[in-house]
A and B are shown apart, each in its own frame.
Chain A
């Protein structure tokens, strides 16, 4: 069995984060790699400290890696303009991960920097390093490095380098090199250790799920903004840009509350809904089944979920907020359970404390993957405190403090009493006097 494990992540330049933040997911020696106590991490922090920013940054990098056109799409540029830190106008993300399989134990470090240039964001730097068959004394070896759209280093023969330079000429500002390189090796049928290096980044991101609350996806805001900017005047009723945004808006509204499923994947979707039904029954013991109402839509189905409670049934759209949240979370939880890496923002919102804690406990003891979530709920601390690197505190001045096991100390009490470095709170009930109304 092969597995990716995220070791470290560094982020800078997203939302309120203007100093580099480093999250460590593993701090044991790598020689006897054993991630069991490190599979779950909770990130705590005051409102506005940047928890969502961390998750958003990872989501952006994932999209850039998996969608070659991401940086060429106007709505994504608008999003970057709004959420990249307004002072630095530069977003940096670096991830360090292990890929291990029988007889393979490689450590990778991949980084990407986006910088604003002429009102739009471009890739100003990208780098991949690797340590094959990790041992303590081995150092990272550079696979490639891109600066300002140019290949400044590539570990490959001159022929390969020339060919790739030709293929990626003028592209590397908007497209990640790692995918272009992986595509090249694939096309040329180059199969070796080094040809797998770029593919590992692609596989990592395919194994990574990011969950953000709807308001943090900003989709409606962006569609509305684009619509306003492209609204046709009286003299030009036929405006193709306008029409395309109308389509996008309709698609957005249409896909809310329903799943768009490729017909070829419908059976696996049905299987997923069946598993989700079992999951939801734990929370709603009067739930009998979930049925799928599918509408034919060319090569796809538009699927609505109907939750049956015996004497009545409810369309997902009209379910309680809590049940809707569980349905939305299911994919990410299922990914982490099956060996993937999942980042969930505000995992506690709309979830009952007791269920939340039991879910986290499950992931600590049974999951095969990695789960990282942000939360304001302090209850999970009691469960996570005996794990390793499992509780991080993000302060408003962009510093991370990891909880370290010290006797019977209770992290929630420490946090509440301001004993965590840089997170003193210093807020009193009296501070709210006069804030509301007359």
Chain B
């Protein structure tokens, strides 16, 4: 029985920064066997989480996959939800949306760069930093505990907790 994981990320197809971090996480921590099919959807912004294009793509990939179950995982930066009401509302909306549809939600607090680098990265440097992350195999230097938090706290994410539900770990 196969399993398809559709990973919806904020980054657009061109910058692909989220893909870099998540792909490295999957490669580093999990055994990706031939019965696992991973597909990314680059939403092109957090606000597009329920856009017609994204939902169409999810529907298309889900209905095409006949080899087993499909799980949809949204990867979202929390941004400054503690201080910014608009961002807090958006996060609440996405949480409600994913919950309602039975999708998983991976949160990066406050963003993917903070989690994987342990520091803030300026927008202008995000793409180069993501490339450097892959090139230098920085995933080896990330504290695994930071990727296994179910609490929303700075530099933390629940990314491994979510993928643990579906994939077999090759390292702890």
Report chain B residues within 8 Å CB of A418: 4, 37-39
Q: Do B38 and A433 touch across chains, with their CB atoms under 8 A apart?
A: no
Binds A, one of B63-71, B99-107, B149-157: B63-71
Within 8 A of A (CB), among B102-131: 131
A55 to B38, CA, bound (A): 31
Does A142 make an interface contact (CB < 8 A)? no
- With an 8 A cutoff between CB atoms, is B35 at the interface? yes
Q: Are B65 and A419 in contact (CB under 8 A)?
A: yes
A398-428 CB contacts (< 8 Å) to partner B: 409, 413-414, 417-419, 421-424, 426, 428
Closest to B135 in A: A434
> Is A1 located at the chain interface by the 8 A CB criterion?
no
| B37 & A426 in contact (Cβ 8 Å cutoff) | yes
* Least Cβ–Cβ distance between A69 and chain B, in angstroms: 42
Do the beta carbons of B23 and A430 come within 8 Å of each other?
A: yes
SS class of chain A's interface: helix, strand, loop or mixed?
loop
**Residues of chain B lying within 8 A (CB to CB) of residue A397:** 34
18 A-B residue pairs with Cβ-Cβ distance under 8 Å, sorted by A, are A396-B34, A413-B64, A417-B37, A417-B61, A418-B4, A419-B64, A422-B34, A423-B34, A424-B34, A424-B35, A426-B32, A429-B16, A430-B16, A430-B20, A430-B24, A430-B134, A434-B134, A434-B136
B37 near A424: Cβ-Cβ < 8 Å: yes
A406 to B34, CA, bound (A): 23
Complex Cα gap A418–B39 (Å)? 8
Instruction: Please tell me if the beta carbons of B37 and A395 are within 8 angstroms of each other in the complex.
Output: no
Q: Is A431 an interface residue (CB 8 A)?
A: yes
User: Chain A residues with Cβ under 8 A from B2's Cβ?
Assistant: 421, 424
Instruction: Looking at the assembled complex, report how far the CB atom of B169 sits from the nearest CB atom of chain A, in whole angstroms.
Output: 17
Residues of B close to A396: CB separation below 8 A: 34
Chain A residue nearest in CB terms to B2: A421
Contact flag A421-B19 (CB < 8 Å), given A426-B38, A434-B135? no
Closest-CB distance, A44 to chain B (whole angstroms): 15
Highest count of chain A CB atoms <10 Å: which of B24, B34, B35, B137: B34
A424: B residues at CB distance < 8 A: 2, 34-38
Known A-B contacts: A419-B65, A426-B36, A434-B136. Give 5 more (CB < 8 A).
Answer: A409-B64, A413-B64, A422-B35, A428-B19, A430-B19
Please measure, in the bound complex, the distance between the C-alpha atom of A180 and the C-alpha atom of B9, giving whole angstroms.
66
Count class of interface residues, chain A? 20 to 34
CB-nearest residue of chain A to B16: A430
A409 to B37, CA, bound (A): 18
Whether B163 sits at the interface, judged by CB under 8 Å, is no
A424 and B6 alpha carbons, distance in the complex (Å)? 13
Q: Nearest B residue to A422 by beta-carbon distance?
A: B34
A417 touches B23 (CB 8 A): no
B81 within 8 A of A: no
Q: Which of B17-71 contact A (CB under 8 A)?
A: 19-20, 23-24, 27, 32, 34-40, 61, 64-67
* A438 nearest CB neighbor, chain B only: B135
7 closest residue pairs by CB, A with B: A434-B135, A418-B37, A424-B37, A433-B134, A422-B34, A430-B20, A428-B23
CB-CB under 8 A from B34, the residues of chain A are 395-397, 422-424
Q: What residue of chain A has the Cβ atom nearest to residue B27's Cβ? A: A431
Are the C-beta atoms of A428 and B36 separated by less than 8 Å? Answer: no
Q: Which residue of A lies closest to B34 (CB)?
A: A422
Q: What are the residues of chain B within 8 A of A423 when measuring CB–CB? A: 34
CA A431 to CA B24, docked complex, whole Å: 8
Measured between alpha carbons, how far is A422 from B23 in the docked complex, in Å?
20
Question: Once the chains are docked, how many angstroms separate the CA of A418 from the CA of B68?
Answer: 12
A419 and B32 CA atoms in complex are apart in Å by 15
A419 and B67 form a contact (CB under 8 A):
yes
Residue of B nearest to A397 (CB): B34
Q: How far is the CA of A417 from the CA of B61 in the complex (A)?
A: 8
Residues of chain B contacted by A413 (CB below 8 angstroms): 64
- Closest CB of chain A to B91's CB: distance in Å? 26
**Which chain B positions have C-beta within 8 A of A421?**
2, 67
